[in-house]
Amino acid sequence: MGHRTPLYEEHVKAGARIVDFGGWDMPLHYGSQIAEHHAVRRQAGIFDVSHMRAVEVRGERARDFLRHVLANDVDRLAVPGKALYGCLLNEQGGVLDDLITYFIAPDWFRLIVNAGPAERDIAWLRGHAGAFAVDIAPRPDLAMIAVQGPQADAAASRVLDAAAFAALGRLPPFHAAFTGDSFVARTGYTGEQGFEMLVDAHEVAALWTRFVAQGVAPAGLGARDTLRLEAGMNLYGHEMDEQVSPLESGLAWTVNLATDREFIGRSALLRQRAQGLARRLTGLVLQGAGVVRAGQEVRGSFGVGTVTSGSFSPTLSRGIGLVRVPLAALDGEVCALAGRSGQALAARLVAPPFVRHGRVLIDL
Amino acid sequence: MSKVPGDLRYTKSHEWVRAAGADIVVGITDHAQDLMGDMVFVELPKPGTELVVGKECAVVESVKAASDVYAPLAGEVTEVNEALAGAPETLNSDPYGEGWLFKLRPHDPEAVRALLDAAAYESLLASEG
């Protein structure tokens, strides 16, 4: 038995198929992951993301500390409530985790890290915290839900109290705010509008039930994966890990090398850049029937690439994937995916995202 | 609990068969579709194909995984369920009815008796936990 979130009983009651994810017993789907996927693209869905860990970074030098340990620069966060996506790197420039940092106050930042690497992240952060005299405090007392889809705010208007809904309404993308005891953020992992909420673990089941009563569909990790894949978003352990540079994972935009800020992994990334990168991450779409699977090989005039994430896109009704290819490979190039029995499936490289805000963004 | 209709025969690899005159109808069980999740593609043999018992003869692919379907009996494929190409989700919603895969004329019609009956298949499911 793995760790269980405060919503575990709700998942079981709703008929979820439970699977292990990063050491947690999580819902894969509640009957049909494709139906859940469509619900998020077309109406609204609710995800339990309480397996992800909130970690507080507090202290007068919290900003200096995060400028040292994160590859993205928290100096980009000028306004309290603003969020920043970025990577935690090791000295070799490999990715320890990808995370969101919320700027709450000059002496208080909140990180949201992935379930699998969470313990390692916390140990790593504490290992580097001493010189900055900051406190690293995980928040197991908080649970997290994501409400996503074009109808997410309409549901929120009926579920949240007036003050909380007004606060949500004022939030620009990638900003967060406290409303009472809960923390609401304009973030997500689906490519749709919506929000995420961090709330008291004892209160999350009641909140979940109220959203579901408003017609918001419980959605599991299966739909979460196909939604993020269509939206061209990376998944830790697939698109990047300790062995892979963010510069070869489509994450150069999250690494600020423009200033002389000394952060962990910087010299390794500068060295890689000077030597020249070998690979890059892009998208892949099958021309005919089939499903793309992680680990499959792709061959084209560019050489050989490897699928890092693959699935079936419910929105496109096509197999799609993210693929690491030689740097010279151009989007639009035709290529062949090696199927499970070795047969070649016709495919094409495409620049992700595939789908966002309900709209198809690639040519089929 | 997965449905296991009493009037069908089953294989250990989770196919079912139903007698239909000289032919038998073949599909995958409710347990199999439930384990695999949403079906997205089905690859069926061509009518006229000779099947060897226990050999792969079709592929069902879900969002989660692709899985071979094994021939429950030796014989010749007489008809395939063309409707599945456009509606693979039928395998999830009605595995024992509209979600049938193909029809087979067995070389030895008596061989069907050697397959698992519902009680034996239920015990198999119970032992697989």
d(CA A354, CA A360): 6
Q: Which residues pair with B77 in a beta bridge?
A: B104
Contact between chains at A222 and B37 (C-beta distance less than 8 A): yes
Question: For position A331, what pLDDT does the model report?
Answer: 97
Q: Which of B41, B61, B63 sits opposite A34 (nearest CB)?
A: B63
Length of chain B: 129
Q: Which of B63, B89, B92 sits opposite A311 (nearest CB)?
A: B63
Q: Where are the domains of chain A?
A: 8-49+141-230, 278-360
| Stronger pLDDT, A1 or A125, i.e. the higher one | A125
Residue B68's CB is within 10 A of a number of other CB atoms, namely: 14
Name the 3-class secondary structure at A338.
strand
User: Among all chains, which residue has been given the structure tokens 């793995």?
Assistant: A2
Name the 3-class secondary structure at A128.
helix
Question: For position A1, what pLDDT does the model report?
Answer: 83
Question: For position A105, what pLDDT does the model report?
Answer: 97
pLDDT tens per residue across span A90-118: 999 999 999 999 999 999 999 999 999 99
Contact between chains at B37 and A290 (C-beta distance less than 8 A): no
Burial group, residue B13, by CB count within 10 angstroms (0-12, 13-18, 19+): middle
Question: For position A181, what pLDDT does the model report?
Answer: 87
Distance from CA of B33 to the nearest CA of A (A): 11
Question: For position A195, what pLDDT does the model report?
Answer: 98
pLDDT in tens, chain B (129 residues): 799 999 999 999 999 999 988 999 999 999 999 999 999 999 999 999 999 999 999 999 999 999 999 999 999 999 999 999 999 999 999 999 999 999 999 999 999 999 999 999 999 999 987
pLDDT tens per residue across span A160-213: 999 999 999 999 999 999 998 899 999 999 999 999 999 999 999 999 999 999
Name the 3-class secondary structure at A96.
strand
Q: Does position A253 have pLDDT exceeding 80, yes or no?
A: yes
Q: Does position A359 have pLDDT exceeding 80, yes or no?
A: yes
- As a whole number, mean pLDDT of residues A53-73 equals 98
Contact between chains at A291 and B66 (C-beta distance less than 8 A): yes
d(CA A100, CA A41): 23
What's the CATH code, domain B9-108? 2.40.50.100
Question: For position A357, what pLDDT does the model report?
Answer: 96
Name the 3-class secondary structure at A307.
strand
Closest CA to A147 of A197, A102, A221, A89: A197
Mutate to test the interface with A, among B63, B68, B90 (most CBs of A within 10 A): B63
Pair A112, A99: CB distance under 8 Å = yes
Question: For position B16, what pLDDT does the model report?
Answer: 98
Contact between chains at B63 and A340 (C-beta distance less than 8 A): no
Residue A184 neighbours by CB under 8 Å, 6+ apart:
A164, A167, A168, A171, A176, A177, A178, A195, A196, A197, A198
Closest CA to A331 of A308, A353, A348: A348
d(CA A313, CA A191): 13
- As a whole number, mean pLDDT of residues A217-242 equals 98
| Structure ipTM | 0.89
Question: For position A12, what pLDDT does the model report?
Answer: 98
d(CA A338, CA B3): 36
What is the token pair recorded at A237?
């352990």
Q: How far is CA B30 from the centre of its chain?
A: 10
Share of chain A above pLDDT 70, in %: 100
Q: Which of A28, A291, A311 sits opposite B41 (nearest CB)?
A: A291
Among chain A, residues having any CB pair with chain B shorter than 8 Å are 17, 28-29, 32-34, 222, 226, 289-291, 293, 311-312, 314, 340
Pair A175, A81: CB distance under 8 Å = yes
Question: For position A252, what pLDDT does the model report?
Answer: 96
Question: For position A124, what pLDDT does the model report?
Answer: 98
Question: For position B92, what pLDDT does the model report?
Answer: 97
Q: Which of B38, B41, B61 sits opposite A32 (nearest CB)?
A: B38
What is the overall mean pLDDT for chain A?
Answer: 97
Burial group, residue A196, by CB count within 10 angstroms (0-12, 13-18, 19+): buried
Looking only at the bridges linking them, the beta strands covering A108-113 and A53-58 are: antiparallel
User: Among all chains, which residue has been given the structure tokens 């490519």?
Assistant: A191
Residue A264 neighbours by CB under 8 Å, 6+ apart:
A68, A69, A89, A90, A91, A128
Nearest CA in chain B to A36: B38
Question: For position A341, what pLDDT does the model report?
Answer: 82
Per-residue pLDDT band at A84 (split at 50, 70, 90): very high
Q: Which residues pair with A138 in a beta bridge?
A: A55
Looking only at the bridges linking them, the beta strands covering A45-48 and A217-218 are: parallel
Pair A158, A166: CB distance under 8 Å = no
Q: Does position A364 have pLDDT exceeding 90, yes or no?
A: no
Contact between chains at A222 and B41 (C-beta distance less than 8 A): no
Share of chain A above pLDDT 90, in %: 96
CA separation, residue A179 to residues A171, A208, B105 (Å) = 12, 17, 68
Question: For position B20, what pLDDT does the model report?
Answer: 87
Question: For position B128, what pLDDT does the model report?
Answer: 86
Nearest CA in chain A to B67: A340
Contact between chains at A32 and B92 (C-beta distance less than 8 A): yes
Query: DSSP characters for A11-32?
Result: HHHTTPEEEEETTEEEEEESS-
What's the CATH code, domain A8-49+141-230? 3.30.1360.120
Residue A303 neighbours by CB under 8 Å, 6+ apart:
A325, A326, A329
Per-residue pLDDT band at A342 (split at 50, 70, 90): confident
pLDDT tens per residue across span A256-304: 999 999 999 999 999 999 999 999 999 999 999 899 999 999 999 999 9
pLDDT tens per residue across span A316-335: 999 999 999 999 999 999 99
What's the CATH code, domain A278-360? 2.40.30.110
